[in-house]
Structure 1
Amino acid sequence: MSTIAERVAGFTSGLQADALPADVLEKIRVTLLHNLAVALADDVVTGVSFRYAEALGAGSGARLFRTGAAAAPDTAAFVNATMIHARAQDDVYFPGLTHVGATLVPAVLALGEELDASGADLVAALAAGYETAGALSQGFAPRTTPRGFRATGVYGVLGAAAGAARLLGLDTATTADALGIATSLAGGTNQTWVAGSQEWLFQVGFCARNGLLAARLAAAGGAGAPDAFEGAQGFYRALLGEETDLSTVATDLGETWRVRDVTYKPLPVCAILQSPVTDALSLRAEHTLTPELVGAARLSLSPGEAAYPGTDSVGPFRGAGDALMSAQFCLAVALEKGTVTASDLLRTDDAGLLELARRIAVVPDPALASRSFRLEIDLRDGGRVEHVGEDGAADFNWDREGLLAQIAAMSAEMPPDEVVAGLVDTVLDVENRSVRDVVSAMVTS
C-alpha cells in the first residue's frame, strides 16, 4: 500500500494547468489575485522583514514585492510571505485552519522567477500546493491547535514544498522525498497571539522558505522518510500525541478539490472575526450606533473558536498581532469607527477604544457550529440589537466580480489605480503570462 507522501506526490507531480477543471482554474486565478492585492495594501508590520533583507545584502534570482529589490529566492519567499500575511487578510482554508496562500504563493513565485517559469506551470504548482496543504491539514488542524501548534506553521510548509517540487519538475519519488523532508521543517506555536509578539508574521515566511529548501534538497538527492507522515515517530503521531487512523488521508486527490473551499477576508482582522466584525459594521450603520449608545455587547462563538489563542482578550495589547486577534478590540474599532483599516491595529493605547472593548464579552456556546456566531448589543436606553450568523466563511468565497469589488473597497489603502489595474490584468490572464510578469506587476516603486 502506498504511503501518504507517495499518494500526494503521485497526484501533484503530474499536474498540468490545462487538465484542471475550469472552475478550479478560475479559483486559482482569483485566489492568487486576492493574496497579491492584500500584499500591496497598507500594513504596519513588515518593517522587520525589509530590514532583514537589507542586512543580508543584495541577492539575485528573485525580487521583493513593492520595491522590486533583487534577492535570493529564499529571501524573497520569506519577505514576500510576510507581505501577503501582514494585514491578516490573506486567504484561509478553514477545514485545516491554514493560510495556504501566504505560505505557498511567495515560494512558487520566487522559485518561478529564478527558473523563468511560465504562468501555466505556476498555476499547476499552485494547484499542487493548495491540494496538498488542504488534504494534509483537513481534520487534523482542529486537533493539533489545542496542543499549541499553529496550523499554518505546521501544514503550510507541506503545500509550499509540493508547489516548489512541481515547479522544479520533480518526479513522484523525488516529490515524496521533498514532502518527507518538509515534515522536519514544520513548526510554530500559537503563543505569539498571547504574547503579542511577531512570530505569527514570520511563521508564513519560514514555511515559504522551508518549502523551497525541502524541494531543493530532494532535487539534490536528499531522502525523506518514506513513512514521514504515518510512521510511529512521524508527523501525525508527534503532532497529535496519539495514534490515529490515517488510511483515508489524501486518497481523494483529484476528485475533491479543496481549493474550492478556500475563502478570503474583507477586513484586516483574524479569520474567526471576519463575519462578526463585518456584521457589526452593518448593524452600526443600520441602527446608527455610537460608542455612547452601547452599554455592553456579547459575541458568542463555538467553544473552539472562543478558546482560540488571542480571541478573548481585552489587553494589554503589545502590537498589531494580538490586536487583530482580539474580538473585543476589533469589534470596538468597528462600532466606534464604522470601518477597520490596518492603521487601526496600532491604536492599542487609545483609552476610549479600550474602554469600549472592555464592555464586550466573548461567550463560548456549544450550540454554535464553527464559523457561526451570535452578536448581542445592549443599548443604554434599554434596547437591544442582535444578529445571528451561520457559516459566515461562505460569504467570503468570492468569484471574480466579488473580488474586484473588494479590491475597489480597499482603494484608499492601495497603490495608484494604474498599478492595481496592471496587477488585475496580469493575474487574471496568468496562464498566458510568465512568473516574471506576475512579480513585475507587484513592483510599485
Structure 2
Amino acid sequence: MSSNSISGQFAQAIVAMSTNTLPADVVEKAKLRILDSLTTAVAAHGLAVPGVAAALVGENHGKSTIIGQQQRVPAIDAAWVNATLVNGRSQDDFLCKSHPGAIAVPAALAIAEQEGGSGADFIAAVVAGYEITGRVYLGGPGMLPKFRATGVAGTIGAAAAAARMLALDAERTRHALGCAAVFASGFGAGFLSGTMEVKLNVGMACRNGVSAALLAQAGATASDLAFEGEAGFYLAMAGTTDHASAATQDLGERYLLGDTVYKEYPVCIFVQTPMTLAREIAHLYPLHVDRIERVTVQVCELTYTNPGFTNVAPFTSALRARVSARFCVAAALLGKPIDEHDFYACVDDPDVLALAARIDLVLDPQSVDTVRVAVEHGGHTLALTGIEGETLRPSREKVIAKYRRLTSEILGPKTETVLRQILDLEHLPHLHDLMGSLRGAGTPLAQR
C-alpha cells in the first residue's frame, strides 16, 4: 500500500535507499559520520551515564554488541547503551538541532548484528536515520525550545534506520515511523540543573525508535496521518502543521546528511562557535585577564533560548558548564584546555568563574545565525563575528584526526584496522570483524 501522507512519503524514500542509488558523495560522508560516531562512543568509556544505562540491561543476552564490552545483548539494549556512549562526551555530530549520529548509528548497528546485514545496508540505514531525523524537525521547528529535538525527532530517525536495516516494506516502515512518533519525548531541564536525564533521553530515543521498528515488523500499526493529522505529531510537538510540507520537500533529491556539522570541543553545539571566536581573539591579541572589563556574546534567538546557554555559576556539574556560554567562552579566552573532556569537571576554576561573571549574553532579534564576541580590554574593543557552525564542517582529515586522537590509547593496535574497515564499509559482507574489533575496547560498564 502506498500513501502520500508524510509518513508514507518517508517510508517510500527509506525503502528505496541503497548504496547503489545514493550519490557517491553521500555514501562517503555517511562513512565519515559512522566513523565520528564510533569515535565518540569508544572515547566515552569511563563516563557515568553509559554505566547507568548498562544497569538497566543487566545480564540480558542477545546478538548485538555494546561497544567496548564482551557481553552481547538484544538489539534494543545495544541501541540504548550505545546511544548514550555516542552522546556521552557531548562531542557527537549535529543536524537540524538534533544529534543524529547518536540515534542512527546505534539503531542501525544493533539491528545489523541481530538480523545479519552487510556494510552497504548499514550505510543506507544510517543515511535514512539522518535524513528522517532532520526532516522531522524541518516540518515542525516550533518544537524548540519546548522539547529536545534529539529526543523527539531522533526517535523517529532511529525507527527509520532500524526499519531500513530490517528491510521492512513501505507499509511496515510507515507503521514504524508512526509508532515512533507516539513514543517520542524529551525536554531540556537537565541542561539547567546539570543532571543526567537529558543524556539518558538520547539513549531512550534510540531504544524507542528501534522498538517501534521491531513492533512494526511484528504487525503493529499506526495512523497514516501520524504527523500532519488533527491529533498528530506536529500539532502536539510544534503546535502547528504550518511547516509540515517542508518535511518532504526535495525528499530523495537533496540529502540532509551533507549539512551535518562536527564537534571539535566536547561541549554543547550552541557554544562551539562563540568558543571558536573567543579562542581566535585570544590568539590574535595578547590578552591580560585583569584588563578585560567586559565580554559580550551576541547570538540569534534559537541559540540564546537553548536550555543551559545562559547558565551562570555555580556550575554544579560538568554538564552544566558544558552548555554554558559564559563558562566556555571564559575558558577559551583564558587559554584553558577546552579540547580536553576532563577539563570541564573543573567547575570551580577561580579564573574561569571570575571572567565568566563579566560576560554578557545578548539576544540579537534580527539575526538568524550570526555570532559576535566582543572583548573590552584596556579601553579597546576586540571583536570577531562568525556564522553559527561555519567552522564546524567535517572534512575527512578532521574526522580521521579526531578518531586517532580520541581512540588510539583505547583501541591500541586495532586503531588502524578499525579505521580501514569503516572506510571500506560498503564492501564488507557483514559487520562481524568490525564489531569484534570494537568489542572489549573498554572497561565493564556495570562496574562504574
> The TM-score by the shorter chain falls in which range?
over 0.9
Partner deviation per Cα, 1:295-315 (whole Å, 9 max, x = no partner):
321111012211211101212
TM-aligned CA distance change 1:419 to 1:275, over 3 Å: farther
The answer to whether the Cα contact below 8 Å between 1:59 and 1:71 also exists between their aligned partners in 2 is: yes
Question: What's the % identity of the aligned pairs?
Answer: 33
Residues in 1 aligned to 2:241 and 2:211: alpha-carbon distance in whole angstroms: 29
Of 398, 402, 418, the residue aligned with 2:413 is 418
Report what 1:387 is aligned to: 384
Letter in 2 for 1:344: F
Superposed CA deviations along residues 325-365 of structure 1, whole A, max 9, x for unmatched, are: 10001112222234312112211223332122111111111
Q: Matches of 2:136 and 2:225 in 1, distance apart? A: 14
The residue identity in structure 1 corresponding to 2:124 is A
**Which residue of 427, 432, 440 maps to 2:422?**
427
In the alignment, the residues of structure 1 paired with residue 249 and residue 284 of structure 2 have an alpha-carbon distance, to the nearest angstrom, of 48
Q: Across the two proteins, how many residue pairs are aligned to each other?
A: 436
Query: Do structure 1's residue 442 and structure 2's residue 444 form an aligned pair?
Result: no
Match in the other structure for 1:310: 308
Cα offset for 1:263? 1.1
Whether the aligned pair in 2 keeps the contact of 1:27 and 1:399 (CA below 8 Å) is no
Q: 1:50 corresponds to which residue?
A: 51
Partner of 1:83: 85
What amino acid does structure 2 have at the position aligned with 1:47?
A
The equivalent of 1:60 in structure 2 is: 62
Give the secondary-structure state (helix, strand or coil) at the position aligned to 2:247: coil
Which amino acid counterpart does residue 425 of structure 1 have in structure 2?
R
CA deviations on 1:399-435 (whole Å, 9 max, x unpaired) are: 2123223445x45995355343232211111112233
Q: CA contact under 8 A between 1:8 and 1:176: conserved in structure 2? A: yes
After the TM superposition, which residues 14-413 of structure 1 pair with which residues of structure 2 at under 5 Å, given as runs? 14-41=16-43, 46-54=47-55, 56-93=58-95, 96-138=96-138, 140-141=140-141, 143-146=142-145, 148-244=146-242, 246-340=244-338, 341-370=340-369, 372-379=370-377, 381-390=378-387, 392-408=388-404, 410-411=405-406
- The separation in 1 between residues aligned to 2:97 and 2:194, in whole angstroms, is 20
Q: Shift of residue 130 of structure 1?
A: 1.2
1:4-59 per-residue CA deviation (whole Å, 9 max, x = no partner) reads: 11100011013211211011001101111111112222576x32432442462242
Contact kept in structure 1, 2:79 and 2:110, CA below 8 Å: yes
Q: CA deviation at 1:275?
A: 1.7
Alpha-carbon distance in structure 2 between the residues aligned to 1:15 and 1:87: 31
**C-alpha distance 43-318 of structure 1, shift in aligned 2 (>3 A):** farther
Secondary structure at the counterpart of residue 398 of structure 1: coil
Distance 2:293 2:45 in 1: 32
Q: Which amino acid aligns with 1:367?
A: Q
Paired residue type of 1:100: P
Distance 1:108 1:411, change over 3 A: closer
> Which 10-residue stretch deviates more, 337-346 or 118-127?
337-346
Report how far residue 288 of structure 1 moved.
3.4
d(CA) in 2 for partners of 1:436, 1:31: 20
Question: Matched residue of 1:192: which SS?
Answer: helix
Q: Distance in 2 between matches of 1:91 and 1:281?
A: 21
| CA-to-aligned-CA distance 1:176-234 (integer Å, 9 cap, x gap) | 00011101110001112112211221111011111110001000011111111111011
Pair 1:440–1:288, CA change in 2 (3 A): farther
SS in 2 for 1:396: coil
SS at match of 1:385: strand
Structure 2 unmatched ranges of 5 or more: 443-448
> What secondary structure does 1:194 align onto?
helix
d(CA) in 1 for partners of 2:406 and 2:177? Answer: 39
| Alpha-carbon distance between aligned partners in 2 of 1:43 and 1:284, rounded to the nearest angstrom | 32
8 Å Cα contact 2:44/2:85 also seen in 1: no
Give yes or no for contact 1:290–1:335 (8 Å, CA) kept in 2: no
**Structure 1 57/292 Cα, relative in aligned 2: closer, same or farther at 3 Å?**
farther
Deviation, 1:77, is 0.9
SS in 2 for 1:184: helix
User: Deviation digits for residues 90-136 of structure 1, max 9, x if unmatched?
Assistant: 1111xx21111111111111111112211011011111111111221
CA distance in 1, matches of 2:343, 2:176: 41
Q: Cα RMSD between the aligned structures?
A: 2.0
Aligned partners of 2:60, 2:139: CA distance in 1, in Å? Answer: 42
State the TM-score, normalizing by the size of structure 1: 0.92
Letter matched to residue 54 of structure 2? A
